[in-house]
Structures are given as structure tokens and as C-alpha cells.
């Protein structure tokens, strides 16, 4: 059965009553499917989850960890070469190891293995160690000045400890 309807524009349209579907209903359903079909691939693909993001830069305190470990290894090497200085150098070596451990904890990395100790002049062991401490104090002071408030206290105490080490080596 086919019905003829008169629309307000004066045109006559035919509708098939047997199917029960109007052109408007079909167009609406098609539009919804098209919109839904376009949204599904966007959520399913990696358009928004791309891995081409650059790796985050290393933590600015990482060099401080390495420096503290190098200092500790230097003191250990000097104690092995000069057992008579072990009582004097041992606490300083332990302080550098403690600093490296705490810095590694703060930046969330495992404590790396200690690097090989640089060789120092056997005749000027204390003078060389004082110079290393002075350089290390300067780097700790610079890191403290550039650090956030949460990290500045730790770096300030490390800088102060390194200044004390210089005095202990006189």
C-alpha cells in the first residue's frame, strides 16, 4: 500500500507503509552511524597516545650523585694507598657515600656503582683532596642556588659538609 502525503510546500511525496521507514528516519540513522563510525577509530588508534615524545631530561641532581660517588671512591683509594690516613679520611668517605645515597633517593634512581677513583699525587694527598673538596663545594653551592626549595636544604647541607671537609684536611 502506498500513501500519498501532501507536504506544506505543495509537493507530493510517496511513502511506503509496508516498510515503515521514512526517508528522514533513514537519513538520521545514516548520519548517526557516520558520526559514531568516525569517533570509534579516533579512540582506537594511537593518534593521541603517540610515543614520539622526547625522553624527559635527566634530573639536574644526577651529576651530584656521580660527583659524591667519585669523591667517596677517591677517599677509599687514598685510604688504601695511605693506611696511616684511614682514621682521618674514613669519615669523609662515608659522608660522601651517604650524600650519594640520599641524592639518589631524592631523584628516584638506584645508586650506581662507584666509578674508578682518579689518581692523585701521593706526595700531595691532602692538598689534592682539599682541591677536590673545594671544586665539589662550588658545584654543590651552584646546584643549591638553582634547586627548588625542597632540594635546596639537602644541597646546602652537602655544600656545608664539603666546606668542613676542606678544613678537616688542613
Burial grade of 170 (CB within 10 A; 0-12, 13-18, 19 or more): exposed
pTM of the predicted model, to two decimals?
0.66
Band of pLDDT at residue 25, cut at 50, 70 and 90: confident
- Backbone phi, then psi, for 36, in 5-degree steps? -65, -40
Band of pLDDT at residue 86, cut at 50, 70 and 90: very high
- Residues forming a β-bridge with 12: 6
Amino acid at each position: 500500500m502506498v500513501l500519498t502525503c501532501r507536504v506544506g510546500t505543495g509537493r507530493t511525496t510517496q511513502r511506503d507503509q509496508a516498510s515503515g521507514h521514512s526517508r528522514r528516519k533513514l537519513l538520521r540513522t545514516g548520519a548517526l552511524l557516520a558520526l559514531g563510525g568516525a569517533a570509534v577509530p579516533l579512540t582506537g588508534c594511537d593518534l593521541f597516545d603517540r610515543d614520539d615524545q622526547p625522553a624527559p631530561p635527566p634530573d639536574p641532581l644526577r651529576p651530584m650523585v656521580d660527583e659524591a660517588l667519585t669523591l667517596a671512591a677517591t677517599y677509599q683509594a687514598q685510604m688504601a694507598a695511605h693506611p696511616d690516613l684511614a682514621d682521618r679520611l674514613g669519615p669523609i668517605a662515608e659522608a660522601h657515600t651517604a650524600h650519594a645515597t640520599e641524592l639518589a633517593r631524592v631523584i628516584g634512581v638506584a645508586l650506581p656503582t662507584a666509578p674508578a677513583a682518579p689518581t692523585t699525587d701521593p706526595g700531595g694527598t691532602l692538598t689534592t683532596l682539599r682541591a677536590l673538596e673545594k671544586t665539589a663545594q662550588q658545584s654543590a653551592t651552584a646546584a643549591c642556588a638553582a634547586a627548588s626549595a625542597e632540594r635546596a636544604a639537602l644541597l646546602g647541607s652537602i655544600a656545608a659538609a664539603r666546606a668542613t671537609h676542606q678544613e678537616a684536611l688542613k
